[in-house]
Chain A
Amino acid sequence: MGRQLLRATLVLTVGLLLTGCATIRVSSQTDHGIIWSNYKTFDWGLADALPAGDPRLEKDPFFRDHVAGAVEKAMATHGFVLSATTERPDVVIHYHANVAERVDPDYVDRDYGSCASDDCRPRVSRYEAGTMVVDVVDAATNVLIWRGWAQGSLEGVLGNRDRLRRRIDESVRQMFETLPSAR
């Protein structure tokens, strides 16, 4: 009985992790030769030439405003100053949001022994994953100096303002933890 309960809990936990309910994966890339103290001011760039993102996100004013607010806040905590409209900023920021189906094989059965025979096939979970990419570009040379992104399942997030807002905040906060400071 106790073992069964433990197994059920374990299966449920791993299941939640695999479907990515609350998991956000963040990462970033940069050029390690960059001298970040050269950059102080930032501004938003024009819409970029990236392939069209998902209209459910990029065409949603709530999403756009909230991303802008979260990114501006994150930049401020790193010592960057939003440029006055009359002067050229040191860096320009672009972001891009994309939704794609992801497929993850589900190893719960095999790994935790609830599948007895040899022909157990991995079950496959499919879900809609969102990717938000934020680019920091040197405004003078138009060269990418930092790219951060966050990925996670959008199950129950699209169409729920409160969850979407929290997801944006958390994604931007975690993503920007790797950004060097302008100090």
Chain B
Amino acid sequence: MLRFIRPVTVAGVLIAALALAGCATLRVNSYVERGADFTQYRSYAWAERGAFATGDPRLDNNRFFSQRVEEAVDMQLSARGFEKANHATADLLIHIHARMEQRIDAGTLLVDFMDRRTNRLAWRGWAERSFDGVIENQEWMEATIDETVARILAQLPRKPL
């Protein structure tokens, strides 16, 4: 289980300060396995489904959160031509990790694509952002999830046309 717990000191305070000042802080990044040809992958399946632990009691075991994340990923992958496949035959298996920093209402959402045959990480994308006030408004939370997932998956290597 990957955890992104960092000592939040100056950076945390800064993020909270920016959040309060009304700036939407969203930082995305990704990693691709060196030498891997991501464009060879065509199909995916969820490695596991269901509510996951987040470090925030409002979101732990909360299907309104976890299902929205999964739906947003499904939608983005479908738009990019990936096929949803059976767990035993899919090229890629997807894991989601979410880590909320309750002290400042900020968090990290991370999407991992594992190569099912080699069981190695093929691609990882993540976003760090402030969530101040977002979780308290379900529609806003859903829109934020959709936007965050779209921004993360926009970094996926493009398939050749």
Known: A27-B135, A102-B104. A124 touches B61 (CB 8 A): no
Query: Among the listed A98, A105, A129, A147, which residue makes an inter-chain contact with B20, where contact means beta carbons less than 8 Å apart?
Result: A105
Known: A29-B62, A107-B20. A101 touches B53 (CB 8 A): no
A131 to B54, CA, bound (A): 14
- Report the Cα distance A51→B100, complex, angstroms: 14
Contact call B61/A131, Cβ cutoff below 8 A: no
B 53-85 binary contact with A (CB < 8 Å = 1; else 0)? 100011011111100000000000000000000
Contact of B60 among A50, A107, A124, A129 (CB under 8 A): A50
Instruction: Say what secondary structure dominates the interface of chain A.
Output: strand
Q: Mark A37-75, 1 if CB is under 8 A from B, else 0.
A: 000000000001111010000000000000000000000
Q: For B24, list chain A residues within 8 Å (CB).
A: none
State the CA gap A28–B141 with chains docked (Å).
12
Stretch at the interface among B10-18, B27-35, B152-160: B10-18
Partner of A131, one of B16, B58, B63, B65: B58
Query: What are the residues of chain A within 8 A of B64 when measuring CB–CB?
Result: 29-31, 144, 147
Q: Is A25 an interface residue (CB 8 A)?
A: yes
Q: Are B104 and A103 in contact (CB under 8 A)?
A: yes
Interface size on A, residues (CB 8 A): 30
B138 within 8 A of A: yes
Nearest chain B CB to A105 CB, angstrom units: 5
CB-contact partner of A27 in B60, B63, B137, under 8 A: B137
Question: Total interface residues on B, using CB and 8 Å?
Answer: 23
Please indicate the chain A residues that have their CB under 8 angstroms from the CB of B58 in the complex.
Answer: 27, 131, 133, 147, 149
Are B57 and A104 interface neighbours, CB within 8 A? no
- With A103-B103, A103-B104 already in contact, the answer to whether A98 and B57 are too (CB < 8 A) is yes
Task: Contact check, A51 vs B53: say whether CB atoms are below 8 A apart.
Answer: yes
Q: 10 A-B contacts, Cβ less than 8 Å apart?
A: A27-B58, A27-B135, A27-B137, A27-B138, A29-B65, A48-B61, A49-B61, A50-B57, A105-B20, A131-B58
- Chain A residues at the B interface, C-beta cutoff of 8 Å: 25, 27-31, 48-51, 53, 96, 98, 100-105, 107, 122, 124, 129, 131, 133, 135, 143-144, 147, 149
